[in-house]
Structure formats: C-alpha cells, structure tokens
Structure 1
C-alpha cells in the first residue's frame, strides 16, 4: 500500500531537451470575422510560461527539487523571457544561446476558456551549439541525482545516445520522455515514459492486454531498460519491469487540458525516485500528479500540498 507521504530529501534533477516558451493570449469572442468563417478574438490578457523541457524543470522545482536545465534557445526576445522565467523560479540555467535560430514558441489563443488556435515557431539548433551542449552535459552530470531527457523531436537531443551512455557510466538514474520513429537511440536508459500513441508508433497496434504486455516487455528488454512506464490517459499507467507488470488506474477527475501532462508525470517520477521512493510508489504519485494537472489550463504544475495534502 502506498502511503503517499512527501519525500524528506530534496533531490537534484538535471533536465535536458527541447526548451520552449508557451505563450497564451486570452480574449473575448463575440463575433465571427467578416473575412472568413472564423471567430474574432479580442485579446485582453497575455501569459508566458516555460514549455517543453523547461516545463519539466518547472514541475520539478514546484515539488521541492533543485533543478538544472540544459537546452538551446535563440539570441532573441523569447530566449530572454525564458532566461528570466528560469531565474524567477530558481532553476539553474545552462542554456546555450544560438544566434542562428529563433527560440521555439508555442502560441495558444484562448477564447471563453477554449483553445481556438495554436501557432508554432521552431527551427533546429546548429551543429556547433549541439557539440558545445554535449560537452557541457558531460561536465554537469556528476552533480545531479536524476537525469531527465525530454525529447520533443525539435533537434536538441540528437546526441541522446551519448548522453545516456555518459549517465549510465556514472550510475545515474536516467528517465526519457521519448519521441520519433526510432527508440533504439534510448537504449540503456533507466526508464522510458511513452504514451499510447508513441508506443503504438514503435511496436504496432495491439488487440488485447496480453498482446500489449508482450510487445511492451519485448521493447523494454531489447532497449536494456530497467522499466517502461506506459501512460494511458484515462486508463491510468502501466509499469513494465523484468519481474512484474503493475497497473495504476487513473485518478478520476474532470479532464480540462492535457497539454504538459507528460512533463508533470516524468518530473514527479524523477523527484520521487531522486528522493529515494521505491519505483511502484513513485509511479503511483506521478499518476496522481498527472490526474491533478489535467484539471488545469495549459502547461501547469502540481504542488506538494496538492499531492500530499
């Protein structure tokens, strides 16, 4: 039985991956445009939040961890905003500023509490900056308890195989939120946290729970993982290890917005494992955190008070 007690230790979490700025424009919708059959949003309020890998770090500090963030942003206004937000939240910034690219921005237009439109601005980082980042990663890894590799397939983690190898040599716990066509590059990580669509993309579809278990366990073994944690939205989560299959049902609550839920889950898992919680208990707490955050608008965080009362 999981007692859901808060951790005593404040672990050190290094988050590496695709750093983004989430911008929200909130407004009133009262008419349809005469130019096209689309709503006209009169913007009344704007918000800026850390997104992507930066949202993972944000979630980690919200739970009391000490977090560092390694990633790439542009030498632009949005990159300055990201740096300022990291400073405000006391996240150690190890950002590389790449003059050749623009900072990744996801702009969401919200009317009447509904997302009407999302506009993405993105470009992959340059080879020189990625080489510098790998060198910096190798210097930082010894100082952290848990490494989280947050892959949004935007180009910041092309060296992920070398990063996993370096972390493994030092005996670090390495969690990966995976993306893309090829999971072989994540071989040797401690735990992978795909969602259903990401897993289906790699192993194909399944018709039964037994077939899913067989495919998930084959993938876990072939990638030399300690565990594979499948996040299943309304179906909860399933943890696959060499010894067991542990299913954690979803925490029943209204789903308002799923954006950033995977960030919250992997950040919570990292903090709990870094604080010494056993894996099954860490998964149960991460599942609870994911259930709380989907009840909030946009990329959000969960506090220790919300998790543990």
Structure 2
C-alpha cells in the first residue's frame, strides 16, 4: 500500500451524519409487562456515524479529511462536533435549528443488539443551499470527493455536487441509498451492497447475470466503475477493463454496521493516493474483513490495515 502518497491524499466528504449511541447492559430476566428482555444498562458509548464514520475511517488511514454536513441545534449535534474534532477531522457542520440531529440508539445485551431506535428529521432547503455553496468553494483543496447518502435528506443537491466535482477534475465516490440511482449519474464510482443493487436492477441467477446487470447500470449512469459489496461472497468491481472479484476475508463476523463506510473510505484513500482499481479494491476488501470483527461503527487504522495486507 503506497502509504507515503496516502498521507498526502486529501478527501472531502459530504453526506448524512448521525450520532451512534450504544447502551450496554446485562439481561437477566424477561419483563412481566411484555415478552421482552429487561436490560439493566451499565455503560454507554457515543460514536460518529454515517458520513461522520466515513470521515473517521479516512482519518484513521492517515489521509487529510474535511467533512461537510448538517446537524440540529442540539446536544447530539454539539457532541458530534466534539467527537469529530478529537479525530483530527476538519469539520463544517451547518446548524439547522428546525431539525434534530439524527441519532441511532442501539441497546446491546449479551454482546448482541436487542433494539435500535432512530431519531431523525430532514434538513431545510436554505441550509442545504448554503452547504452547496461551501462545497463548491472546498473542491479546489481536495483530490477526491465521497458522497455518503444515508437517505436522510442531506444530499438533496447530489446531482449538482457530482457535476461540480467532475468539472473540477475530482474523483467522485458515492455510497448510494434507495431505488433511484439516476441522481448518481456521472460519478466515478458507486458502491452499492448486494441488496441495494437488487432494488435497482432486480434479481440475478448467477455471476454472469450479475455482471450483465452491473455493466448495463454502469453504462447507463456513465460511471467509470461500479463496486458491489456481496457480504460472504466478497466484492466485485465492474469497470471498462473488465471485472475484479475479491473473495471475502474469512474471519469471525461480529458486526457489519458501518462496514460500507470502511469500504468507501479505504477505496477513496487508495485512489486519491494514486493506486489502481485492483489494489484499491483489494485494500478495501481487507479493511472490511478487519472492521466486521469489531462491535458497532468502528475504524481500521493505518498500521492495522498494513498488517492485514501483509
């Protein structure tokens, strides 16, 4: 892995940020009120999630990273700001007083997730427009852009962002959401997981069927590449020079939440550092294999990935 060039790589990340809260506790009995476990909470943790977790992953790999997003004027938004600043991320969170910061609260008992509660509202048009203006001004200072779409409304202007970034000669990587990928047209690469791709192109019977559907979508959207993360089947990259398949890295899977964040962060850092497609996808696959062995939204450090690659 060309780490000398990785340290010089500059990434701009835009997307939906959230605060991931974890309540850990013991489960010793069933509630008398309903057939559900009673969790006696003993400790709690807070971590940046969504696009903020992508930014943490980029920073952990040693690249320079800027994050642009929207939060509410609330305690969760201020906590996100503090956590991100502590991770050496250049963070610009536009405050929208009309919304609440997205929070995902997970209750963990006996080392497994028992419940997740989401709090979210969509940002207002005026704040998103101001964010778009800042996005354009920051393009000159980055090598690549990651657009992390969690479907929370923070990327209402994504088609415009892709056009601006490509016009400025920047690579654009998109982690998609939903069943309409037309808004991602013109990006360098889109990285759906297996279920997300199926929602857009329908089912396939075998690898040949997947290849045909993936190539058709890549061509239709004018992408340089399409990366499909396939869980236990590894990942497959489709681009003009052919397909690259990476088998899953065999290890105990503890938690897949946030694995897609690690994949796109590693891919972007490698590409911005000058790596080719095959090397970038290989590093992203190995990083994903490391991060699923950790609980919750987690990151893979530069030394950790270097050791895993060897």
TM-score category, normalised to shorter length: over 0.9
Partner of 2:222: 224
Give the Cα separation in 2 of the matches to 1:150 and 1:229.
Answer: 15
Q: Which runs of 4+ in 1 moved over 6 A?
A: none
How far the C-alpha of 1:129 sits from its partner, in A, is 0.6
Partner of 1:107: 105
Give the Cα separation in 2 of the matches to 1:122 and 1:5.
Answer: 39
If the length of structure 2 is used for normalisation, what is the TM-score?
A: 0.97
Q: Deviations over 1:236-267 (max 9, x none)?
A: 11000012011111111111100000000000
Partner of 1:253, secondary structure, is coil
Whether 1:9 and 2:6 are equivalent positions in the alignment is yes
Whether 1:282 and 2:274 are equivalent positions in the alignment is no
Give the Cα separation in 1 of the matches to 2:172 and 2:220.
Answer: 17
Matching of residues 136-175 of structure 1 within 5 Å: 136-175=134-173
Alignment RMSD (CA, Å): 0.9
Matching of residues 175-254 of structure 1 within 5 Å: 175-254=173-252
If the length of structure 1 is used for normalisation, what is the TM-score?
A: 0.98
Partner of 2:26, secondary structure, is strand
Q: Deviations over 1:168-213 (max 9, x none)?
A: 0011010000011210110000010000111001101011211110
Give the Cα separation in 2 of the matches to 1:180 and 1:7.
Answer: 37
How far the C-alpha of 1:6 sits from its partner, in A, is 3.6
Does the 8 A contact of 1:236 with 1:287 survive in 2?
A: yes
Whether 1:302 and 2:280 are equivalent positions in the alignment is no
Partner of 2:42, secondary structure, is strand
Partner of 1:288, secondary structure, is helix
How far the C-alpha of 1:9 sits from its partner, in A, is 3.5
Partner of 1:293: 291
Does the 8 A contact of 2:189 with 2:226 survive in 1?
A: yes
Partner of 1:49: 47
Give the Cα separation in 1 of the matches to 2:5 and 2:237.
Answer: 24
Partner of 1:34: 32
Give the Cα separation in 2 of the matches to 1:140 and 1:305.
Answer: 29
How far the C-alpha of 1:7 sits from its partner, in A, is 4.6
Match of 2:262 among 249, 264, 267: 264
How far the C-alpha of 1:222 sits from its partner, in A, is 0.7
Does the 8 A contact of 1:58 with 1:301 survive in 2?
A: yes
Does the 8 A contact of 1:5 with 1:308 survive in 2?
A: no
Matching of residues 14-93 of structure 1 within 5 Å: 14-93=12-91
Partner of 2:256, secondary structure, is coil
Question: How many pairs were matched up?
Answer: 306
Partner of 1:256, secondary structure, is coil
Give the Cα separation in 2 of the matches to 1:104 and 1:184.
Answer: 26
Partner of 1:128, secondary structure, is helix
- Gaps of at least 5 residues in structure 1 are none
Does the 8 A contact of 1:7 with 1:272 survive in 2?
A: no
Does the 8 A contact of 2:2 with 2:275 survive in 1?
A: no
Give the Cα separation in 1 of the matches to 2:298 and 2:241.
Answer: 34
